[in-house]
Amino acid sequence: MSINNNVAIVLKSLTKPSVLSNGFTYSDLHLDIQYQYLVNHEVQRQYEITDILVDYDLGAIRNSIVNLLLTFPGQKILNPFFGLNLAQYLFQPCDEDTAFIIGQEIQKGITTFEPRVKINLLKVIAQPATHSFQITLILSVPTLNSSSFQIAGTLSNSGFYIN
């Protein structure tokens, strides 16, 4: 019995269209899971039809970047390499060298896991007085006519938090 390694299974029903039916290109669940009301009846609010709030285009890509920054490798079962272990730098010296290494780690992670974006600015500033790092990212999305957005956060002994 021989095994053919050149066989691929393609499920056309699972392919994502290049433009969603509502005119957006990308979609993702809103990070703070909330309900979106589809029918608005104040009197009969308990009978309203609800769905989970969704972000589109820049919001969806921003969610993806935030998930990358907040996820440790191994946490995502179906993709165990996804994520950045920024917490490993918390016990390193809080100086420019460590800030540079953190910046390289973030750049590598974004380049690997989020090819839809271009990094316009990545700034990591060490703050020795509080033993923390301020991280600022300005990203653009070429497929969305170079629309840009910013993500800023703090890496400290409490973890990484988006400002």
On the CB side of 99, CA atoms within 13 Å amount to 17
Please determine, for residue 92, whether its predicted confidence score (pLDDT) is greater than 80. Answer: yes
Residues 130-160: pLDDT tens digits?
999 999 999 999 988 867 899 999 999 888 8
Domain over 56-162 is classified CATH 3.40.47.10: no
pTM (predicted TM-score): 0.72
Q: Determine the residue type at 95.
A: D
Strands of 25-100 (E only): list them. Answer: 27-29, 35-37, 50-52, 54-56
Residues 29-45: pLDDT tens digits?
565 555 555 555 566 55
Which residue is associated with the tokens 């750049």?
107
